[in-house]
Amino acid sequence: MKKSVMIAALAMVVSFGSISCKKKVTDADLQTQATTVVTSNPNATVEVKDGVAHLSGTFEDQASKDAMIASLKAIPGIKEVMDMSTVAAPVEINSVDTVALQKVQDAVKDFPSVKAEVINGEVVLTGTVSSLQARKIKESVDALTIPYTNNIVVK
């Protein structure tokens, strides 16, 4: 009995010793790993302090931001990720969609001298027509409830 208690005590000492001998991951090591992960987004940076990754910068969309956070959390030794980053507002290249432009072009198709095009994100009508034709065009395009600029010259 005395021998089995001694063996159990020795086993406990050895197990505690092996736990305490485990190499501790330093913030510098974690910083290196975290920086490697974050380099996939040139607009983001990360700083590791006390095992906590502080993510900052801008991401194109929420999905890429979430993926980056998940990648940082997967690094062994990172306790937590503090998210201080933002998602960039979507860049609106053209505020008029092609369907709306096509509807306007269909409305003026019977008037070959009138052209509908997008200039600076807005539908602009140009050309020369009679006053009767101008009225018909205006009624047709107004019915679409699409904002536009009327630069049609009435002859």
Strands (E) in the chain, as ranges, are 44-49, 52-59, 80-83, 86-87, 115-119, 122-129, 148-154
Q: Please name the residues in contact with 118: beta carbons below 8 A apart, sequence gap of 6 or more.
A: 94, 96, 101, 124
Tell me: do 32 and 82 sit in the same domain: yes
1-5, 23-27, 118-122, range with the lowest pLDDT: 1-5
**Angstrom distance (rounded) from CA 50 to CA 77:** 10
105 and 140 in a common domain: yes
Q: Is the pLDDT of residue 1 over 70?
A: no
pTM: 0.49
Determine, yes or no, domain membership for 20: no
1 occurs within a structural domain: no
Indicate whether 10 belongs to any domain: no
Same domain, 104 and 146: yes
Q: Are residues 102 and 148 in the same domain?
A: yes
| 17 occurs within a structural domain | no
| pLDDT at 7 (0 to 100) | 46
Residue 77: give the domain boundaries: 25-87
Say if residue 125 is in the same domain as residue 82. no
d(CA 49, CA 40): 21
Are 73 and 37 within one domain? yes
Asked whether residue 3 is assigned to any structural domain, the reply reads: no
How far apart are alpha carbons 49 and 47 in whole angstroms?
7
- Domain shared by 112 and 80, yes or no: no
Please report whether residue 46 resides in a domain. Answer: yes
Query: For residue 119, which of 76, 87, 151 has the smallest C-alpha distance?
Result: 151
Residues 79 and 103 in one domain: no
The reply to whether 7 falls in a domain is no
What total of structural domains would you count in the chain? 2
More reliable by pLDDT, 9 or 147: 147
**Tokens found for residue 93:** 């290249």
Of 7-11, 31-35, 93-97, the range with the lowest mean pLDDT is 7-11
| CATH number of 35's domain | 3.30.1340.30
Q: pLDDT per residue over 14-60, tens digit each?
A: 444 444 455 688 999 999 999 999 999 999 999 999 999 999 989 99
Per-residue pLDDT at 61: 92
- pLDDT, residue 94, reads 53
